[in-house]
């Protein structure tokens, strides 16, 4: 069952030595009030509990701070999605307990108000998109949580100054913990079930007299899979470096990050297996290298890198400019069994693409009104859609190259640009904000080449560039670039009825991804070129209205929100009379409505209670056509994998160095198919974290023990399905991880 060697990652052996070296330099750190700016974040909100609605905006925005991540998040130390699990309306599903599994393809286990983040990784770091739509891990595993100051998540009508790329599911932004003002060292080591081991160290120089400060961090993580053979991750190695220079009104920042990870995949279950977890809970890939079901033929290897610079200049106390150029690269592959009927076929999905761009924002206050004028441009190179795949045959326990299954070259890169203007003003008790975003995107131009039999034989087992150099272009499968543009307005207001009661509303338009899957759709019917599929693509758009209140009664807070939304051009796999086939098209029409509640109570100084509840209706607005043109009666039916009810309740008790945090999560029943013939039962899980620590003149320490899924509930967590799913035998179900124990020691100097 994977690698069971109980060795401590080499990083932990040097942690104390590095810490000692840092402490020797602590005399260089400044202590002035100006220095403390290094530790601030751009938006503040009252600290009311471990679930924190942001009361500074009329929009629906939640935030997760460092304390919440430490006490409530998964112990894997990365993946911003898992930090959002306690927020109302959010369903986070991972194949493992540590949040370290990267699922192949576009769905990464996040649904918000019924909307799924498709076509790859969603979210930004410091407000910039470090990757476009694609199937790789993106930035999800690139940054250690110890280097994140806060994660904010906007739902509903997203403000134009939170652009990202696509935001029909909301806007996630991770804010970096930039170099601290004083010298500091953080060291931690975790060990847990399934041979989980993680070591982390961060060294802060403190601010020198020159105004310079930097940090350097490193981590190493490994774990066996909890079911089947192999490791996930076999190894995750991360290095991050940031430096900051402050000179008068000018501040320069630079961030560099490098991450390497490799892991074996978890196998999905069929519906029959998913409804018999007593037998199939630990069913997985085999240990037989004679077939494509071998766990060694179902794995992934990736290297991700990123560089981000921030240039901030204050022209005056009320006017400032921020410019952020950035670059990211993702390189690696997925290896996977590619045929349900032929157990000898394995494909390698090659992924090698870069993303770069620039984001800028001018902020000024005129007539007591805060204005923001921003522009961002992002250029990325697919996959997303896939461009190159090799096909192998299993022979004698080895993979033997057979042919290229897909061979394409990006001619024009995929480009996005966002221009926005926002304004915010307060009229006494009334706060008003609004703005507009003009979003443009240019679909890539892709040259396709004749693959399959035309590239068969060992002489074609070369790099993608070498294969393309000798391959024959297929004009019927090639596509040219296309442009889209959308106006995305937003407006919000809040009114303080009293110190205890505030009401707020926001209305706006969001944008989603085109259905890139059409590029690789086989030609059929009257369609004689891929360009005909390409010409049908449209960006999904949605209109959202949120109505809410913020109630504060002493030590109690209640934040109820009701919402309504409508989407057009949603990507759904439906029948096309022109091709007589079912394929993904931007033709879906859906609507959503629901209720969310974030609540908390602090009955005494040592005890906090918190809870989140959501009721969601996410349905189709019309029937669709399925195989053969048959009508699928989905009008008014809940979308697949969308529970109506979700909630959590938890507490945090602190006394005499002890902290005890129990949390119970509930996910209601949902359907996995659009024809309502595959139902997934509701489930609840309980997590418990107990921590003890103290502070001294030398620093601080704490040790914690976390029990995830304390009562070892058997349930189906992740369902990998499209918005239209009529599968009766497809394997799309992933069981949730069993009881998992993790111990962590942290030191701060």
Residue 16 has pLDDT above 70, yes or no: no
pLDDT attached to residue 192: 97
The residue-averaged pLDDT of 577-593 equals 90
pLDDT band at residue 51 using 50, 70 and 90 as cut-offs: low
Helices (H), 681-724: none
Question: Tokens 């925005």 belong to which residue?
Answer: 61
Residue 71 has pLDDT above 60, yes or no: yes
pLDDT attached to residue 724: 67
CB 478 within 8 A of CB 446: yes
**Average pLDDT value over all residues in the chain:** 90
Residue 26 has pLDDT above 60, yes or no: no
CA-CA distance, 346 to 335, in Å (whole number)? 7
pLDDT band at residue 701 using 50, 70 and 90 as cut-offs: very high
Tell me the per-residue pLDDT of 601-633, one tens digit each, with 9 for 90 and over.
999 999 999 999 999 999 999 998 888 888 989
The residue-averaged pLDDT of 258-282 equals 96
Tokens of 705: 């023990």
pLDDT band at residue 700 using 50, 70 and 90 as cut-offs: very high
Best-predicted range by mean pLDDT (100-104, 131-135, 489-493, 535-539):
489-493
Residue 95 has pLDDT above 70, yes or no: yes
The residue-averaged pLDDT of 234-248 equals 96
CA trace torsion 544, 547, 552, 553 (10° rounding): -140
Between 73 and 22, the more confident residue is 73
pLDDT attached to residue 158: 95
Residue 19 has pLDDT above 70, yes or no: no
CA-CA distance, 358 to 621, in Å (whole number)? 39
Between 147 and 47, the more confident residue is 147
pLDDT attached to residue 53: 85
pLDDT attached to residue 723: 66
Residue 24 has pLDDT above 60, yes or no: no
Residue 363 has pLDDT above 90, yes or no: yes
CA-CA distance, 99 to 80, in Å (whole number)? 9
The residue-averaged pLDDT of 383-411 equals 95
pLDDT band at residue 48 using 50, 70 and 90 as cut-offs: low
Residue 294 has pLDDT above 60, yes or no: yes
- For 428, other C-beta atoms within 10 Å of its C-beta total 7
CB 231 within 8 A of CB 214: no
Looking at CATH, the fold of the domain delimited by 10-748 is given as Maltoporin; Chain A (2.40.170)
Judged by average pLDDT, the poorest of 114-118, 261-265, 373-377, 708-712 is 114-118
In terms of phi and psi (left: phi > 0; alpha: psi -120 to 50; beta: otherwise), the region of 183 is beta
Between 584 and 228, the more confident residue is 228
Tell me the per-residue pLDDT of 108-123, one tens digit each, with 9 for 90 and over.
889 999 888 767 788 9
CA trace torsion 192, 197, 202, 203 (10° rounding): 110
The residue-averaged pLDDT of 653-680 equals 93
pLDDT attached to residue 624: 87
CA-CA distance, 623 to 659, in Å (whole number)? 52
CB 124 within 8 A of CB 164: yes
């Amino acid at each position: 069952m994977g690698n069971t060697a109980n060795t401590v990652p080499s990083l932990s052996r040097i942690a104390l030595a590095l810490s000692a070296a840092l402490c020797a330099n602590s005399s260089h750190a400044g202590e002035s009030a100006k220095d403390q700016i290094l530790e601030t974040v751009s938006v503040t909100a009252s600290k009311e509990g471990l679930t924190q609605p942001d009361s500074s905006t009329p929009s629906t925005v939640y935030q997760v701070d460092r304390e919440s991540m430490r006490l409530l998040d998964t112990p894997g130390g990365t993946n911003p999605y898992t930090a959002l699990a306690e927020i109302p309306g959010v369903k986070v599903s991972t194949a493992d307990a540590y949040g370290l599994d990267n699922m192949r393809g576009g769905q990464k286990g996040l649904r918000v108000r019924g909307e799924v983040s498709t076509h790859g990784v969603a979210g930004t770091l410091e407000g910039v998109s470090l990757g476009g739509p694609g199937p790789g891990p993106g930035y999800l595993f690139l940054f250690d949580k110890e280097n994140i100051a806060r994660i904010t998540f906007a739902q509903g009508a997203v403000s134009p100054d939170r652009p990202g790329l696509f935001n029909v599911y909301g806007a996630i932004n991770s804010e970096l913990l930039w170099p601290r003002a004083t010298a500091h060292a953080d060291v931690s080591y975790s060990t847990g079930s399934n041979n989980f081991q993680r070591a982390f160290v961060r060294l802060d120089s403190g601010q020198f007299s020159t105004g310079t400060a930097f940090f350097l961090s490193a981590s190493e993580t490994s774990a066996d899979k909890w079911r089947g053979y192999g490791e996930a991750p076999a190894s995750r190695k991360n290095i991050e470096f940031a430096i900051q220079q402050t000179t008068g009104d000018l501040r320069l920042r630079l961030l560099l990050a490098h991450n390497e990870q490799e892991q074996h995949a978890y196998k999905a279950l069929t519906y029959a297996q998913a409804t018999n977890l007593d037998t199939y809970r630990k069913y997985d890939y085999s240990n037989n290298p004679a077939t494509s079901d071998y766990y060694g033929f179902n794995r992934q290897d990736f290297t991700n890198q990123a560089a981000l610079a921030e240039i901030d200049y204050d022209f005056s106390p009320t006017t400032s400019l921020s410019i952020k150029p950035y670059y990211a690269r993702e390189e690696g592959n997925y290896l996977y069994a590619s045929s349900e009927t032929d157990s000898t076929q394995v494909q390698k999905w090659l992924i090698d693409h870069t993303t770069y761009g620039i984001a800028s924002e001018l902020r000024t206050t005129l007539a007591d009104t805060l204005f923001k004028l921003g522009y961002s441009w992002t250029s990325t190179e697919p996959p997303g859609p896939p461009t190159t795949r090799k096909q192998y045959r299993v022979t004698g326990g080895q993979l033997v190259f057979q042919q290229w299954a897909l061979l394409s070259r990006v001619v024009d890169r995929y480009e996005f640009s966002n221009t926005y203007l926002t304004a915010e003003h307060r009229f006494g008790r009334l706060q008003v904000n609004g703005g507009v975003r003009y979003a443009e995107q240019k679909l890539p131009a892709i040259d396709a080449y004749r693959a399959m039999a035309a590239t068969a034989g060992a002489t074609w087992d070369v790099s993608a560039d070498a294969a393309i150099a000798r391959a024959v272009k297929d004009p019927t499968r090639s596509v040219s670039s296309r442009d889209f543009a959308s106006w995305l307005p937003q407006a919000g207001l809040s009114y303080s009825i009293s110190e205890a009661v505030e009401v707020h509303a926001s209305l706006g338009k969001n944008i989603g991804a085109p259905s890139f899957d059409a590029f690789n759709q086989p030609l059929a019917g009257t369609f004689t070129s891929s360009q005909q599929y390409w010409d049908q693509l449209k960006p999904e758009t949605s209109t959202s209205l949120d109505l809410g209140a913020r109630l504060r009664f002493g030590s109690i807070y209640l934040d109820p929100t009701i919402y309504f939304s409508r989407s057009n051009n949603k990507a759904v796999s439906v029948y096309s009379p022109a091709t007589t086939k079912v394929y993904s098209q931007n033709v879906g029409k859906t609507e959503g409505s629901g209720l969310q509640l974030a609540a908390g109570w602090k009955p005494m100084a040592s005890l906090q209670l918190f809870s989140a509840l959501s009721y969601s209706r996410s349905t189709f607005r019309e029937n669709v056509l399925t195989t053969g043109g048959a009508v699928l009666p989905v009008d008014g039916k809940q979308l697949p994998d969308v529970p109506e009810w979700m909630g959590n309740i938890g507490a945090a008790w602190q006394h005499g160095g002890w902290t005890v945090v129990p949390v119970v999560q509930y996910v209601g029943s949902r359907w996995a198919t659009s024809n309502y013939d595959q139902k997934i039962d509701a489930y609840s899980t309980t997590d418990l974290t107990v921590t003890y620590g103290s502070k001294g003149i030398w620093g601080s320490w704490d040790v914690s023990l976390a029990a995830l899924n304390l009562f070892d509930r058997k349930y189906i967590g992740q369902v990998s399905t499209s918005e239209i799913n009529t599968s009766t035998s497809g394997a799309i179900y992933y069981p949730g991880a069993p009881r998992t124990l993790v111990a962590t020691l942290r030191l701060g100097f």
